[in-house]
């Protein structure tokens, strides 16, 4: 008997945030990164949190009562216009850290308003 089962893609990335952080999340993920908010299904919306999307990219932020930011584990987002995005992050008050060289990419790190590490990568 042959199995057709396969894992083939990531549907979304879930990051944690503290209670009441939805407006801060919107300012960063919409105004700085340029994502769009997607309404959460009603049953899930009761828990708080917020979802963002742009095309196939989906980032969900959920409430964690005993919140601790992900400082090592992180999503790596492919971007176009990395230099401009870095400038936009800095103008909004976010600190950028340069990543170690990685063949084929220019990259940098930024932390969201809650301290979650986000890698920004552009193919070169």
Query: pTM of the entire structure?
Result: 0.92
Q: What is the pLDDT of residues 9-65, one digit of tens each?
A: 999 999 999 999 999 999 999 999 999 999 999 999 999 999 999 999 999 999 999
On whether the CB atoms of residues 122 and 82 are closer than 8 A, the answer is yes
Per-domain boundaries in the chain: 13-123
Residues 6+ apart with CB under 8 A from 112: 15, 17, 25, 28, 29, 118
What does the DSSP assignment read for 99-121? Answer: PPPBTTEEEEEEE-TTS-EEEEE
Q: Encoding tokens for residue 97? A: 């850290």
User: Is 13-123 a CATH 2.102.10.10 domain?
Assistant: no
Q: What is the pLDDT of residues 64-112, one digit of tens each?
A: 999 999 999 999 999 999 999 999 999 999 999 998 889 999 999 999 9
């Amino acid at each position: 008997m042959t199995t057709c089962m396969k894992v083939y893609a990531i549907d979304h990335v879930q990051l944690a945030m503290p209670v009441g952080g939805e407006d801060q999340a919107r300012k960063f993920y919409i105004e700085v990164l340029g994502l769009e908010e997607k309404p959460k299904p009603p049953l899930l919306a009761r828990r708080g949190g917020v979802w963002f999307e742009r095309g196939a990219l989906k980032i969900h932020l959920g409430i964690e009562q005993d919140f601790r930011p992900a400082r090592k584990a992180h999503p790596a987002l492919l971007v176009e216009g990395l230099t401009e995005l870095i400038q936009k992050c800095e103008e909004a008050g976010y600190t950028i850290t340069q990543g170690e060289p990685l063949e084929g990419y220019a990259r940098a790190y930024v932390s969201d308003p809650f301290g979650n590490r986000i890698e920004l990568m552009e193919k070169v």
